[in-house]
Amino acid sequence: MIELRTPAEIEQMRPAGAFVASVLEATRDAAAVGVNLLELDALAHDMIRAAGAESCYIDYHPSFGASPFGKVICTSVNDAVLHGLPHDYTLKDGDLLSLDFAASVDGWVSDSAVSLIVGTPREEDERLIQVTAEALDAGIAQAVVGKRIGDISAAIGDVAADAGLEVNLDFGGHGVGRVMHGDPHVPNDGRRKRGLPLRPGLVFAIEPWFLHTTDEIFTDPDGWTLRSADGSRGAHWEHTVAITEDGPIILTARSS
């Protein structure tokens, strides 16, 4: 069911967005050569406890997950692009890391993701991260009253196409509110002027994710982590966005 939030409710969602942004900033800044993924998860867990927030991940068990997730942040490295289950892995120079985090504050949820390079960057990884971020910006620019979901999807897909990237449509953006995943679905490619009309009060996550040379993925034996079929690297960016009469509000905007 698609729900519309009042202006007052959107204001009530701001603390959740700010908290999610702060955790991503902290874990992003902590990610370095020699840091273990479990350390990043522990940092996020500590911040959740200190803020009195609730994890959206730790008990999460959708149909595509083998078991409850059991951790509080997704850490996807190199050929992993989504739902990376934190495990005993120490980051190496040149790793491409995507962090995806969602939490509930006072009953309201926000969801966001960022990609970065640990240590020495590779040019092709920098370009992939940049293109994915540009796709997010292009999608958000279409998140205005009078447009449709298809306009957001097409804007994301056009950025990918211009960069020579294929788009997987198995996972994309989604409604956010009292729960992490709700309606509407926001695909990362589509047709303009099609789909749900955008109205004030809609709140959803926009989340482009691309792989270097494929759009095919498979599930790791851990039952969660999604990896590219050909071993190529992936990047993932996401923001929770509210539609208002005055334009989109990025609830998970980071300070840096």
Q: Where are the domains of the chain?
A: 7-250
Q: Does the annotation list 207 as a binding residue?
A: yes
Q: What is the pLDDT of residue 220?
A: 97
Nearest CA to 102 among 36, 181, 187? 181
pLDDT (tens digit per residue) in 188-216: 999 999 999 999 999 999 999 999 999 99
Chain-centroid distance of CA 157 in Å reads: 16
- pLDDT digits 0-9 by tens, 150-176: 999 999 999 999 999 999 999 999 999
Q: Does 100 count as an annotated binding residue?
A: yes
Determine whether the annotation assigns residue 59 to a binding site: no
Q: Is 238 annotated as a binding residue?
A: yes
Task: Flag whether 181 is marked binding.
Answer: yes
User: Picking from 116-120, 180-184, 247-251, 252-256, which range would have the lowest pLDDT averaged per residue?
Assistant: 252-256
As given in the structure block, the two tokens for residue 78 are: 């190199």
Q: What is the pTM of this model?
A: 0.97
CATH class in words for 7-250: alpha beta
Exposed/middle/buried for residue 12 (C-beta within 10 Å: 0-12, 13-18, 19+)? middle
Sorted by sequence, the CB contacts under 8 Å of residue 165 that are 6+ apart come out as: 128, 131, 210, 211, 212
- For residue 218, give every residue at least 6 positions away whose Cβ sits within 8 Å of its Cβ, in sequence order, or none: 226, 227, 229
Percent of the chain exceeding pLDDT 70 equals 100
